[in-house]
Amino acid sequence: MAEFDNYLSPGRKGHLIGIGGVSMSSLAEVLQGMGIVVTGSDMNDGANVESLRSKGIEIRIGHRAENIAPDVEFVVRTAAVHDDNPEIMAARARGIPVFERTQAWGAISKDYANALCICGTHGKTTTTSMCTHIMMAADKDPTVMIGGTLPLLKAGHRVGHGSTIIMEACEYYNSFLSFHPTVAVVLNIEADHLDFFKDLDDYKHSFHEFASRVPADGYVVANLDDKNTMDAVKDVQGRVITFGLSKGADVTARNIEFLGANSHFEILYKGRLFTDVTLHVPGIHNVKNALAATAACISLGVRPFAVKYGLAGFNGAGRRFEFKGKYNGADVYDDYAHHPGELKVLLDAVELLNYKRTVLVFQPHTYSRTAALFDDFVTQLRRPDVLFLAEIYAAREQNTIGISSADLARQIDGSIFCPTFDVIEDALRAIAHPGDIVLTVGAGDVYKIGERLVEDDK
């Protein structure tokens, strides 16, 4: 099969299927910026589609064979587009090469002197966003691809003209093995995506393969606090720089103070004061994310002032402890946490904020994850004062397991399983009071509940 690199030259023409997605829309802009003629299709209109159209990209709604114009030379598809898609079938019938989104991003990353790629079970979007803030403060003019919306960019991507690309690197289906990092950040490793990976060892092996892609003159930034991470980066050829709160970490923090949702601490590098930081997102996990971002940017030669001011300007990414507004005096937040480890750090952070009650609305994400990590979910979901469980968000799966959120509810005293969002919203309207924090949590569409509550209160 042809390499995607062969099509990265001005005047070539490509078609993107699923162009409205976060990663695909940013890919379209990057390709257009390289002088490539881009067209696309998507099942729905939306803000990303309209933004691309305003930049002169022709986009058709709906997937049809005729969307593949006679002069299209290559096709890129998002992971949700399968072989039976009419546009994929038309392209293959005409001998047009079809690439995965990650293959395209991987090829593009080769064109940058610095390819900073952030992976891990948790914290990828936040840490990628922090790196973006720091590199922008350092005037490095990076190209950016984030798996969420960053207010600084008003998007999940940025097309820059500097020598650095910053990319969130997802491990699912080994997508990140298409990337070519010169700096690889490994935040943490816990068993996940067990519908694809056989077990934790298989999962760790993929992270080892990712870190091994870093050249000898590059850097692997690794979490010294996490044994699985340190196992995964053992014997890689890149230079390893560690971060964390454990003794001996290259980049660490001291004198950590939590002030409501903010924290202040000093960052040490190789035992010496590097800078001090005020962070406007809560929790010790975000202190660690900030250390990871700092270590990555140190490896790229960034000075202390850029770290200090870049992190000071970071107020979170979309759906990462995102404040949505108030309802009946209660603060309403939304978070993307969909793994027990993410639930733990989220609830740990909320406990520091001294609310009278934590009201959690949780929507599990995928049947396979809920079943595989069932006991760990139960442990964390017993922590909030009030728990509403929405039905499992299927995402890409069919419920061949026969599992439901009702099964979780039976293991958690006082929890309330609600088969519809309307039932949850009515219950929240009845119980929300000043002094409460209402959290809508999950990787599906549970955020809509909080948004509707806030809208009702206006």
Per-residue pLDDT of the chain (458 residues; tens, 9 = 90+): 579 999 999 999 999 999 988 789 889 988 998 899 999 999 988 888 999 999 999 999 999 999 999 999 999 998 779 899 999 999 999 999 999 999 999 999 998 999 999 999 999 999 999 999 999 999 999 999 998 889 999 888 888 999 999 999 999 889 999 999 999 999 999 999 999 999 999 999 999 999 999 999 999 999 999 999 999 999 999 999 999 999 999 999 999 999 989 999 999 999 999 999 999 999 999 999 999 999 999 999 999 999 999 999 999 998 899 999 999 999 999 999 999 999 999 999 999 999 999 999 999 999 999 999 999 999 999 999 999 999 999 987 999 999 999 999 999 999 999 999 999 999 999 999 999 999 999 999 999 999 999 998 87
- The span from the CA of 183 to the CA of 118, in Å, is 8
CATH numeric code, 322-456: 3.90.190.20
Detail the DSSP E strand segments found in 113-154: 114-119, 143-150
**SS3 for 361?**
strand
Helix ranges (H only) for 169-213 are: 200-211
pLDDT at 1: 52
Tokens 């017993």 correspond to what residue?
382
* Domain 4-100 belongs in CATH node 3.30.465.10: no
Fold of 112-312: UDP-N-acetylmuramoyl-L-alanine:D-glutamate ligase (3.40.1190)
pLDDT at 455: 93
Q: Which of 414, 374, 409 is nearest to 391 (CA)?
A: 409
| Amino acid 7: pLDDT | 95
- Give the HSE-up count for residue 184: Cα atoms under 13 Å, Cβ half-sphere: 33
Q: Can you state the percent helix, strand and coil of the chain, rounding each to 5?
A: 35, 25, 40
Residues of the chain with CATH 3.90.190.20: 322-456
Give the residue numbers marked as catalytic.
Answer: 124-125, 168
Domain with CATH 3.40.1190.10 in the chain: 112-312
Give me the half-sphere count of Cα atoms (radius 13 Å) on the Cβ side of residue 451: 7
**For residue range 88-111, what is the model confidence (pLDDT) as tens digits?**
999 999 999 999 999 999 999 998
pLDDT tens digits, 54-65? 999 999 999 999
Cβ burial 41-80 (10 Å sphere, 16+ → b, else e):
bbeeeeebbebbeeeebebbeebeeebbeeebbbbbbbbe
Residue 448: per-residue pLDDT: 95
